Amino acid sequence: MQTGVCQWCFARTVPTFDAMATARECGYEAFEVGIGLETYVSLSSSTESLSSLRRHADGLGLTLSSAATGVGWQYPLTSNDRAKREKGVALTTQAMEVAAELGVKTLLIVPGTVDMETRFDDAFENGVASLRSLVRRAETLGVSLAVENVWSNFLLNPEELRQFVDQCGSPKIGVYLDVGNVILYGYPEKWIQSLKGRILGVHINDFKKGMPRGKGFVMPGEGEVDWPQVIMALKSVGYDGALTIEYEAESGAIGTKLRQALARLKVIQTLKGF
């Protein structure tokens, strides 16, 4: 079970080469690459630059365990706007291609939102159709798409998320579970049990209710996640992928914060014999 860190922990101005080096210096074994339009690893990156990043990771002894893209916020796969939805499909395809060049097998995606222009039923239907259109390319590239549970008024319980990925009809479509994101409306351990066989990645973070807006996410162990129950649930469903820290450490002494988070993660890994 590898310890990992997400590139989203770093400021967008930090070059990926430097972020990888810092992650390894702090003791992490795996790294989740951020893929975006203009930040982190660009969707328009050349094959040469991606090969260089891959060699850099290999030289550091750092596994590129996954990649993550947030293009679904700007161009939701769920949108009733056909042009916006098709743009989302095209950008997700590009992100898969970048991930494949990096040798990454799992790509975290944001599926979309329910808003004033998009009803839940429409979002569900549009999202499933969009993901189905991506399956063949995902199979060709050997990259799985992992739908993250995010605060988008969409897929707010594990049954909905399970039904959503199952209707896509391919093992290349799964779930990326963000533990802390669950706390406002559920229990992570229950989600894990309900999503058995579908979890392709796990973000490790914690959340404390009642905090000012934007301040609820805290270091693992400082919030309301029941970590022994989460670890037992992950063990029970046979999850063996990386446990990836996603904690906003970009301000202040990032190395210190990432080391603290890693120390908490190592404690978490030992709970209940996991």
Q: How many helices (H) and strands (E) does the chain have?
A: 10, 11
Residue 69's nearest CA partner among 29, 97, 27 is: 97
Supply the pLDDT for residue 272. Answer: 62
DSSP conformational letter for 198: T
Q: What is the pLDDT of residues 213-269, one digit of tens each?
A: 678 999 999 999 999 999 999 999 999 999 999 987 655 678 899 999 999 999 988
Q: What is the pLDDT of residues 80-125, one digit of tens each?
A: 999 999 999 999 999 999 999 999 999 999 999 998 889 999 999 9
Residue found by looking up tokens 């390894």 in the block: 24
pTM of the complete model: 0.96
d(CA 16, CA 64): 12
DSSP conformational letter for 7: G
